[in-house]
Amino acid sequence: MPDPNDLASGGAIALAAAEIEVEFNGEVSEIAHSNRAWLHKIKNNRPYFIWKIATTLDGRTAAIDGSSKWITGPESRAEVSQLRSESSAILIGTATALADNPNLIPRDIKTTRETNPIRIVMGLREIPSDFNLHNDAAETVFLRSHDFSELLTLCAERDFNQVFVESGSELGTALLKAGLIDELIIFQAASLLGSGLSFVGDLGATNIKEKMDFVIRDVAQFGNDLKITLTKETGI
């Protein structure tokens, strides 16, 4: 498919001039989807944001006592590790950092500090110096702000293509309301809690016409969990 970046245009012409056969695929949907982060960045001048959520069938991300490990099984966690490795950066809020003390690096994948995605922690609270986010497994940027324009400036300065959001409800909901979530990946366990924390907060909808709609891109099974991928546009 054609590259929309002006700096990369003309590749097909150069190949053809070198007597290499070039074929443009008319069915570009799958090709566009596999390159969606890059295409989105060129079109919208910002990276592609994916929010990953692990939830029960009734949409709970943690029990009423706050415990959440592990809602989903090892197969889902291995897939999350792969998704992390495909991203430029991983974004969480200080609430998740303080509650979970996450490492946020791909598990069981050979990586280095230089190849691991950059960890971004957004919020005003201090993270204790002995927490995992201060280790040398990956670079961590502590963005002491709630202003998404500062987040986007950071992403532009670092030339991120894809940001993988592993935050809780508060930051994820705020990103949704700001129109910055381009894709939802929901790992849904075959279990029920009945109470506890919901994965999404108040979106401001007061009637059914104001609901936020997504397109189901893919549904796959990982162990006893479902991975549901949703996008805002059919073309990606």
Lowest mean pLDDT: which of 3-7, 115-119, 185-189? Answer: 3-7
Read off the pLDDT band of 28 (50, 70, 90).
Answer: low
Summarised one tens digit per residue, pLDDT across range 198-209 is 989 888 889 998
Portion of the chain with pLDDT greater than 90, in percent: 61
pTM: 0.87
Q: For residue 166, what pLDDT is reported?
A: 95
| Domains along the sequence of the chain with CATH | 1-34 (no CATH), 45-231 (3.40.430.10)
Give the largest Cα separation in the chain, rounded. Answer: 66
The Cα 44–Cα 75 span in angstroms is 34
Alpha helices in 35-160 (DSSP H): 36-44, 74-85, 94-100, 148-158
Q: Nearest 5 degrees, angle CA 166-CA 210-CA 29?
A: 60
Summarised one tens digit per residue, pLDDT across range 155-211 is 999 999 999 999 999 999 999 999 999 999 999 999 999 888 898 988 888 999 888
Summarised one tens digit per residue, pLDDT across range 87-114 is 999 999 999 999 889 999 988 787 778 8
Helix (H, G, I), strand (E, B) or coil at 33: helix
Name the strands in the sheet holding 48-55, side by side, starting at the edge strand that comes first in the sequence: 140-143, 118-122, 89-93, 162-165, 48-55, 183-189, 225-231, 215-222
Q: What helix, strand, coil percent values describe the chain, rounded to 5? A: 30, 20, 50
